[in-house]
Structure 1
Amino acid sequence: MALKLLVLALIAAMIYRYYKSRRQQEQFYYLNHYQFPSGIRRRLSRKYPQLNDQQWELVAKAMRQYFRLHRHSKRATLAMPSRVVDDFWHEFILHTAVYQEFCQKALGRFIHHTPAESTVQSKSVRRTWVLSCRDEGIKAGQFATMPLLFTIDQQLHITDGFVFKASDFYSLTNEKNSSSCSGSSCGSGSSCSSNDCNDSSCSSCSSCGGGGGD
């Protein structure tokens, strides 16, 4: 009887993992192919009349990236490092029913708005940086490469946009040494301590086991 129960439990666990994986894949596909309401761009065009179709698509791409980071954030706060993407997010949230449906289908939970921040000393900004690096496969020492979310304001010449330098983040990482998240994707190559694994900014370190989606 005990063996039978064990077998049933293993089968149930395998079925659960299969459907969880399938659900995550469906969420990931939905998020990456989502078309935001046209009303967002129409309203923001009054504030950013200089942006063309290609540039608006870049803003939408950055918005998708930000939501994608929440799949690995372990529900920790992620700062918004772009003024234009933050404005886009504000307008999206105003489509309340559509936004709620998007969050549920793309992430399985509601994502509340987080204030935009532009200082590298902010823990939530650094956490967004780490996950953005991981999302784009940016490795340590690539000072000429920065994640889209941290460069889009400069690329689009946004008035009062946020300006970041990759060297600032890497300097902070080196100063903290092993107490910072410095896995192969975003840091100097040292591993996290056990205490660091309680910090969601450390979700890309191999010793923390990585971050999973909801």
Structure 2
Amino acid sequence: MTTTAVAVGKRSGRSLITEQEFDMLAAFCADEYGLERCVANQVVDQALALTYVMGTTRSGSVMAPSQLVDPGWHTLILHTDWYADWCQRHFGYFLHHQPNSKLRSRGLMTSVTGRIRSAGFEVDDRLWGTSSECNAPTCCGDGPCC
């Protein structure tokens, strides 16, 4: 008997919500933070993956978004009714915002992206300052990443 391994594709943060919800959040992020829509799409995607991992693992106190993903995280929490409902459906509790941006470092961002990858999500290293080529605009500017 021959066994064939099937590669499991990575999922996106975007896959956690409807297209209408994603469009609403990405449009807000682009407008509110002055981002091009294609960038806002990636930022919101990564924020959703981060938030999902923080919520499902109850690790919000030890994880943080990069400076570039932070607008996506804020976009989610600024839509309070939607965000509260989404948290309840996915985690069974409201995941509070616990600002710890002063703790950002390349090491922390590498740990965070590792956790996101381990949960099966795609990671855009350009937004986390963890790319092997730490040159602008790859480097997020958080802590001693460059």
**How big is the alpha-carbon RMSD for the aligned residues of Structure 1 and Structure 2?**
4.0
1:46–1:91 Cα change, 3 Å = closer
Query: Distance between the aligned counterparts of 1:48 and 1:137, measured in 2?
Result: 26
Query: Distance between the aligned counterparts of 1:164 and 1:65, measured in 2?
Result: 24
1:98–1:76 Cα change, 3 Å = closer
The partner residue of 1:134 within 109, 118, 123 is: 118
Query: Distance between the aligned counterparts of 1:97 and 1:162, measured in 2?
Result: 30
1:64 matches 2:39:
no
- Name the structure 2 match of 1:96: 80
Query: Distance between the aligned counterparts of 2:30 and 2:82, measured in 1?
Result: 18
1:83–1:76 Cα change, 3 Å = closer
Q: CA deviation at 1:104?
A: 0.7
- Name the structure 2 match of 1:38: 24
Conservation of the 8 A alpha-carbon contact between 2:30 and 2:40: no
Q: CA deviation at 1:89?
A: 1.8
- Name the structure 2 match of 1:152: 127
Alignment of 1:85-124 (within 5 A): 85-115=69-99, 116=101, 117-120=103-106
1:127–1:114 Cα change, 3 Å = farther
Gaps of 5+ in 2: 1-13
Conservation of the 8 A alpha-carbon contact between 2:60 and 2:98: no
SS at match of 2:68: helix
Structure 2-normalised TM-score? 0.59
> How many positions carry a matched residue from both structures?
125
Larger Cα-atom Rg? 1
Query: Sequence identity of aligned pairs in percent?
Result: 17
Q: CA deviation at 1:61?
A: 1.3
Query: Distance between the aligned counterparts of 1:39 and 1:31, measured in 2?
Result: 13
Conservation of the 8 A alpha-carbon contact between 1:82 and 1:162: yes
